[in-house]
């Protein structure tokens, strides 16, 4: 006890002689009944700027859980999470500030408009540079459930972060930031002292030194820390953190696998500390808290999706890598005080770079799929050979090829979730690997050490690192700190030609820059799959020719070791004899990563069904690698067992992307198919199309906008005894504009459609709106309106249908498209009038139709639907229809059932053969299922 008391006295003495650090003292009491902290806080704030201050801002992130309209509430909805939006009042949190004083005088304060987690305090007098003011605040924090952000009330206690008032940083103006569930609060270090009372049954663990005094009904904790920030408290019935001791520090962590031997775990931790310190230096604090929740939350762990129970990796590998990620994160973020909304690329880059170096040193041969890479049939795939350190370039290219990548200087709160958690950290880490190889390893390592030492525990930014690296290098690095960091320009070089200079025994190699960034490019000479020559080439703006010695290479290659991220690596190889490399065709089952040595064709089984063809089996051939090309093709020959015919489909398409335009891409293509639409009657479709997809305002916006224009040629086979009519062979020019915004709370979509046939012109619109009232209950509205500008067609083949259209464009996946009775006639696809019931009265309109379809949730996936419609045909009066029933919406638009109850023709439920009136939705479209599952990720 005496030793602990002396430790506290020494700490307080050290704080008293330190200058230029704020100090924060907190006295708090935890109420576990109401889940509140009653806090009295003193902040000694030093004006370290060169300006007079008349106001001070405090971050009050505890108040970000107040309602749905805080920046956090809105952000969670944007992230496709609705649990907080529909949470109960007692599950949320708030921070209620009773008063703020200075020298016993009350100060005026207010919440910043539209940012209720930031407090603006008006000072009673000017605070000059280097002067000090002490602010006293009395407030209560209601702790929310931890399920929303990972911080708050847990199952057995509390895990607290960002729970107290913190002064905002002033750097050329106030750096204000609201809580957006990104754990990136920009705060300066301070000297902390905390006193907190908690019930006796609970334990407290933190990233401060602590002393515990037991009282009758509670435990009193005294916590202190010098030059600290981001105070984390873990309060629970059992202690969760384990301590590992190293030569220079002790590591407290809740990231631990109980199956791992403690001695081995301690050896791993010591190994990792030594590795990190070799690259960046020593952590200034002797006690480091490694909080697993902090690390897990802002990364997509195991994105390749292998369950833990399969154990694909060597023993302890997953825990070791996960802990290394957490440890490097604390080494960087505890010590380097940057604004991670702006300069996240630097911390992310260093962390990813260290991870890549660690894996390269200790696990260079571990693949992404671990031991499963050796399974027969899979081991020859390029995907099976993908090493752990190959995935960074792979995921960058996956995003860049679709132009979903964003510049590393894009504010973190403007990045898509996938870019923030995966792509941008990977690109930043690859950038450091790029620098390491281009400069040489020691220059980068020494610069990182210098930056870590000089900028330790003080406000800094990426410019400081840039100055250090530029000073230590004699090479031009403007390309890196310019285009590579500040833009999403993509690197793509190719070897244009190789000329043999026999008189000089050398090769003249011409390299072409295919894009608009001039970055260093590495050239390799390869013989027997080994690197025999390597050099770096700079200043390749358009083309550049260099001379190298002719050493009888098998081939020359660019970026052979995949050091830097590249847009397209398929054009990086060329033989010295300039022979046109005729790449052999390689067939791969399902999919694989692209291979520069082959023209790949992928094949997979294709199974379909319709009533007339029966079971349809075939093989789909395509060139769609996991990372798609701009040009793609699909050819699917099938055999139909019932019709005993060869059927199938094909498509060809080319995507033209636009980098700086309101148009995201234009897809040009043609498609066609041949199947049966009735017994022994086939149809052929041929359709050229142009699809213009418009760019989203930001990549965080969900939804899409596109304009489709196409001509559909249809040729339907007829019985030999029948006479051909206009519905047997026709062509239609179609224009369709679709706007879709599938928000997690409110979803809105509309389509405007125009069709121009030989004998008719028609226009229609389809508007849909979905509003959730709770997590499980919603209201759904659809409006359809359509009219013929003129209509000289015969019959109702091209008319609007009330409960089922004729689908003359062959867009719908119907099992029995010509059936008027039986099970397959009951298949339901939302189109035209959208009614589910069958009517005795004629239910087509060849002039005008308007309908409204509504449904309201009543319990889980059960809904009540009500539909209204007006139909008008030529030379007849308007007709009105009504229906209601029960909808079982198990998976929206994928698996549903409709049970009609009442229509304007009477009750349906008590009529004969009621089962024949039930409608169902079953889709076999993999695209629709995939789009349903992927929402909120990209």
CA distances from 798 to 144, 499, 731, 793 (A): 57, 64, 12, 8
Token code pair at residue 357: 């170096």
Residue 442 burial by Cβ neighbours in a 10 Å radius (0-12, 13-18, 19+): exposed
User: Mean of the pLDDT values across residues 321-330?
Assistant: 93
Both tokens assigned to 505: 């025994």
Residue 126 has pLDDT above 90, yes or no: yes
**Residue 556 · residue 581 · CB < 8 Å:** no
SS3 state at 188: coil
Amino acid 15: pLDDT: 44
pLDDT digits (tens, 9 = 90+) for 700-718: 998 899 999 999 999 999 9
Give residue-wise pLDDT tens across range 276-305.
999 999 999 999 999 887 667 766 554 444
Question: Nearest to residue 676, comparing CAs of 817, 812, 772, 579?
Answer: 817
Quickly tell me which residue has 């981001």 as its tokens: 230
Question: And the tokens for 180?
Answer: 């957006």
Nearest of 18, 382, 411, 398 to residue 186 by alpha carbon:
411
Strands 760-772, 746-756: pairing is antiparallel
* 766, 851 Cβ separation under 8 angstroms: no
Which region among 291-295, 647-651, 685-689, 726-730 has the lowest average model confidence (pLDDT)?
Answer: 291-295
Please name the residue ranges forming H helices in 855-934.
Answer: 926-934
Residue 696: other Cβ atoms inside 10 A: 15
Question: What is the model's pTM?
Answer: 0.92
* Residue 753 binned pLDDT confidence (cut-offs 50, 70, 90): very high
CA 303/CA 700 separation, integer angstroms? 20
- Please give the backbone phi and psi of residue 392, each rounded to the nearest 5 degrees, phi first: -65, -50
The residue written with tokens 């009775």 in the block is 821
Task: Strands of 128-177 (E only): list them.
Answer: 132-142, 152-154, 157-160, 166-167, 169-170, 174-175
Residue 721 contacts residue 689 (beta carbons within 8 Å): no
- Characterise 834 by phi-psi region: left (phi > 0), alpha (psi -120 to 50), beta (else): left
- Rounded CA gap, 694 and 706, in Å? 6
The radius of gyration computed from the CA coordinates of the chain, to the nearest angstrom, equals 33
Residues 29-50 have a mean pLDDT of 97
Question: Is residue 374 helix, strand or coil?
Answer: helix
Work out the average pLDDT over 402-423.
95
What is the rounded average pLDDT of the residues 143-170?
Answer: 96
d(CA 881, CA 845): 12
Contact predicate 324/352, CB 8 Å? no
- Please give the pLDDT value at position 927: 63
Range of lowest pLDDT (468-472, 552-556, 799-803): 552-556
Rounded to a whole number of angstroms, the distance between the first and last alpha carbons of the chain is: 54
Mention every residue, 6+ apart, whose C-beta is less than 8 A from residue 756.
732, 733, 734
Locate 352 and state its tokens: 């990813």
Output phi, psi for 677, to 5 deg. -105, -10
- Quote the tokens at residue 914: 């009621």
Geometric angle at alpha carbon 623, from 620 and 625, rounded to 5°: 110
pLDDT at 268 over 70: yes
pLDDT in tens, 576-596: 876 655 678 999 999 999 998
Average pLDDT over residues 330-351: 96
pLDDT single digits (tens) 360-394 = 999 999 999 999 999 999 999 999 999 999 999 99
In 720-825, at which residue ranges do the beta strands (DSSP E only) sit?
729-742, 746-756, 760-772, 778-791, 800-801
The secondary structure element, H or E, covering residue 248 is none
Residue 513 and residue 541 in contact, taking contact as beta carbons nearer than 8 Å? yes
Contacts of the segment 261-267: beta carbons below 8 A, 24+ positions apart: 264/316
Give me the residues paired with residue 637 across strands. 648
Q: What is the DSSP letter of 658?
A: -
Categorize the per-residue pLDDT at 798 as very low, low, confident or very high, splitting at 50, 70 and 90.
Answer: very high
How would you class 607 by CB atoms within 10 Å of its CB: exposed for 0-12, middle for 13-18, buried for 19 or more? exposed
Q: pLDDT band for 597, please (50, 70, 90 cuts).
A: confident
Nearest-angstrom CA–CA distance, 460 and 350: 15
For residue 907, pLDDT over 80 is answered with yes
Q: Which residue, among 875, 845, 876, has the nearest Cα to 762 in the 3D structure?
A: 845
Q: Which pLDDT band, with edges at 50, 70 and 90, does 248 fall under? A: confident
| The pLDDT of residue 4 is above 70 | no
pLDDT reported for residue 925: 64
pLDDT band at 208 (very low <50, low <70, confident <90, very high): very high
User: Does pLDDT of 515 surpass 50?
Assistant: yes
**pLDDT tens digits, one per residue of 818-838:** 998 899 999 999 999 999 999
pLDDT, residue 9, reads 46
What does the pLDDT average to over 760-780? 95
Beta-carbon contacts of residue 42 (< 8 Å; ≥ 6 apart): 24, 25, 26, 134, 135, 136, 137
- Predicted pLDDT at 580: 57
Query: Does residue 66 surpass a pLDDT of 90?
Result: yes
Q: What DSSP element (H or E) covers 685?
A: strand 681-694
Going by pLDDT thresholds of 50, 70 and 90, the confidence category of residue 69 is very high
Q: What is the pLDDT of residue 664?
A: 97
**190-194 mean pLDDT:** 97
Strand residues in 156-249 grouped as ranges (E): 157-160, 166-167, 169-170, 174-175, 190-199, 203-206, 209-214, 218-228, 233-236, 242-245
Q: What are the CA-CA distances from residue 662 to residues 694, 748, 816 (Å)? A: 6, 21, 41
Give the model's pLDDT for residue 7.
45
Helix, strand, coil shares of the chain as percentages rounded to 5?
Answer: 20, 40, 40
- Judge whether residue 453 has pLDDT over 50: yes
* % of the chain exceeding 70 in pLDDT: 94
Concatenating the DSSP letter of every residue in 299-326 gives S-TTTT---GGG--S-TTHHHHHHHHHH
Cα–Cα distance list, 334 to 82, 331, 685 (Å):
32, 6, 63
Average pLDDT over the chain reads 92
What tens digit of pLDDT does each residue of 805-821 get? 899 999 998 999 999 88
Q: Per-residue pLDDT for 79 more than 80?
A: yes
Mean pLDDT of 213-242: 94
CA dist., res. 492 & res. 512, Å (int): 9
| pLDDT at 10 (0 to 100) | 42
When pLDDT is averaged across residues 607-618 and rounded to a whole number, the result is 94
pLDDT in tens, 911-934: 888 999 999 998 866 666 666 666
DSSP labels, 747-777: EEEEEEEEEE-SSEEEEEEEEEEEEESSSS-
β partners of residue 68: none
The yes-or-no verdict on residue 178 having pLDDT over 90 is: yes
Q: Give the per-residue pLDDT at 11.
A: 45
* Structural domains in the chain, sorted by start: 1-237 (2.60.40.1730), 343-486 (1.10.390.10), 493-582 (2.60.40), 725-937 (no CATH)
DSSP H or E stretch at residue 201: none
Q: Strand 599-610 vs strand 585-589: parallel, antiparallel, or unpaired?
A: parallel
CA dist., res. 804 & res. 862, Å (int): 23
Cβ contact 475:438 at 8 Å: yes
Give the model's pLDDT for residue 441. 74
């Amino acid at each position: 006890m005496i030793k602990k008391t002396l430790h506290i006295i020494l700490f307080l003495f050290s704080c008293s002689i330190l200058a230029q650090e704020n100090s924060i003292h907190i006295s708090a009491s935890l109420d576990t009944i109401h889940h509140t902290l009653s806090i009295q806080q003193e902040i000694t704030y030093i004006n370290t700027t060169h300006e007079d201050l008349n106001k001070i801002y405090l971050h009050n992130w505890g108040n970000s859980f107040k309602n749905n309209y805080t920046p956090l509430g809105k952000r969670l909805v944007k992230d496709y999470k609705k649990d907080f939006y529909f949470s109960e009042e007692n599950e949320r949190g708030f921070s209620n500030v009773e008063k703020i004083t200075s020298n016993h005088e009350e100060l005026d304060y207010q919440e910043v408009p539209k940012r209720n987690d930031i407090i603006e305090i008006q000072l009673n007098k000017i605070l000059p540079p280097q002067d000090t003011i002490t602010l006293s605040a009395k407030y209560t924090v209601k702790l929310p459930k931890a399920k929303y952000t990972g911080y708050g009330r847990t199952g057995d206690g509390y895990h607290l972060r960002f729970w107290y008032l913190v002064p905002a940083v002033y750097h050329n103006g106030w750096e204000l930031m609201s809580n957006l569930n990104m754990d990136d609060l920009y705060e300066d270090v301070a000297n902390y002292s905390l006193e907190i009372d908690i019930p006796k049954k609970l334990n407290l663990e933190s990233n401060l030194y602590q002393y515990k005094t037991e009282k009758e009904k509670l435990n009193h904790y005294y916590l202190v820390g010098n030059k600290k920030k981001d105070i984390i408290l873990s309060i629970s019935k059992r202690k969760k953190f384990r301590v590992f001791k190293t030569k220079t520090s002790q590591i407290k962590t809740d990231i631990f696998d109980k199956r791992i031997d403690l001695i081995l775990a301690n050896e791993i931790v010591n190994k990792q500390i030594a590795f990190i310190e070799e690259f960046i230096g020593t952590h200034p604090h002797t006690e480091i808290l490694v909080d697993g929740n902090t690390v897990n939350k802002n990364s997509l762990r195991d994105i390749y999706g292998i369950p833990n129970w399969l154990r694909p990796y060597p023993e302890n590998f997953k825990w070791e890598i996960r802990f290394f990620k957490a440890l490097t994160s604390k080494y960087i973020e505890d010590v380097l005080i940057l604004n991670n909304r702006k300069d996240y690329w630097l911390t992310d880059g260093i962390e990813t770079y260290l991870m890549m170096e660690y894996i390269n040193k200790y696990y260079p041969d571990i693949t992404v799929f671990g031991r499963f890479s050796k399974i027969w049939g899979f081991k020859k795939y390029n995907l099976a050979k993908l090493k752990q350190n190959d995935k960074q370039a792979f995921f960058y290219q996956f995003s860049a090829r679709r132009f979903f990548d964003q510049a590393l200087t894009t504010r973190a709160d403007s990045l898509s979730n996938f870019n923030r958690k995966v792509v941008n950290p990977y690109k930043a880490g690859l950038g450091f690997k790029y620098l390491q190889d281009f400069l040489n390893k020691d220059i980068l390592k020494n610069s990182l050490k210098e930056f870590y030492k000089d900028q330790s525990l003080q406000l800094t930014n990426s410019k400081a690192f840039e100055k250090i690296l530029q000073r230590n290098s004699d090479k031009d690095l403007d390309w890196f700190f310019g285009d590579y960091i500040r833009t999403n320009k993509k690197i793509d070089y190719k070897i244009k030609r190789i000329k043999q200079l026999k008189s000089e025994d050398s090769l003249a190699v011409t390299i072409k820059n295919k894009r608009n960034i001039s970055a260093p490019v590495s050239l390799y000479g390869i013989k027997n799959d080994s690197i025999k020559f390597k050099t770096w080439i700079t200043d390749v703006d358009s083309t550049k020719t260099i001379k190298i010695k002719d050493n009888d290479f098998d081939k020359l290659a660019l970026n052979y070791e995949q050091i830097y991220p590249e847009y397209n690596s398929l054009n990086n190889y060329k033989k010295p004899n300039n022979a046109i490399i005729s790449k052999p065709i390689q067939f791969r089952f399902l999919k694989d990563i692209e291979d520069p040595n082959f023209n790949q064709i992928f094949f997979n089984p294709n199974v379909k069904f319709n009533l007339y063809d029966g079971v349809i089996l075939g093989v789909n051939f395509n060139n769609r690698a996991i990372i798609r090309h701009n040009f793609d093709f699909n050819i699917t020959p099938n055999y139909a067992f019932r019709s005993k015919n060869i059927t199938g489909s094909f498509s060809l398409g080319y995507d033209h992307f636009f980098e700086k335009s309101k148009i995201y891409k234009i897809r040009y293509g043609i498609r066609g198919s041949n199947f049966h639409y009735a017994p022994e009657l086939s149809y052929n479709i041929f359709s050229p199309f142009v699809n213009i997809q418009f760019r989203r305002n930001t990549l965080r916006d969900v939804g899409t906008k596109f304009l489709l224009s196409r001509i559909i040629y249809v040729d339907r086979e007829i019985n030999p005894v029948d006479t051909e009519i206009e519905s047997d062979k026709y062509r239609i020019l179609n224009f369709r504009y679709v706007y879709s915004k599938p928000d997690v709370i409110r979803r809105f979509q509309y389509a405007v459609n125009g069709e121009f046939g030989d004998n008719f012109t028609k226009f229609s619109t389809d508007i849909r709106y979905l509003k959730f009232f709770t997590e499980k209950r919603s209201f759904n509205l659809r409006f359809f309106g359509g009219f013929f500008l003129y209509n000289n067609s015969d019959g109702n083949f091209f008319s609007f249908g009330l409960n089922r259209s004729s689908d003359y464009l062959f867009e719908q996946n119907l099992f029995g498209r010509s059936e008027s009775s039986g099970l397959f006639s009951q298949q339901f696809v939302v189109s035209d009038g959208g009614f589910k019931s069958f009517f005795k009265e004629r239910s087509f309109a060849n002039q005008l139709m308007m309908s409204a379809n509504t449904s309201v949730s009543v319990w889980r996936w059960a809904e009540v639907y009500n539909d209204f419609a007006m139909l008008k045909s030529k030379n007849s009066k308007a007709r009105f229809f009504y229906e209601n029933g029960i909808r079982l919406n198990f998976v929206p638009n994928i698996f549903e059932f409709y049970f009609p109850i009442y229509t304007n023709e009477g009750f349906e439920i008590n009529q004969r053969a009621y089962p024949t009136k039930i409608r169902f939705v079953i889709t076999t479209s993999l695209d629709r299922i995939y789009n349903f599952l992927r929402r909120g990720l990209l």
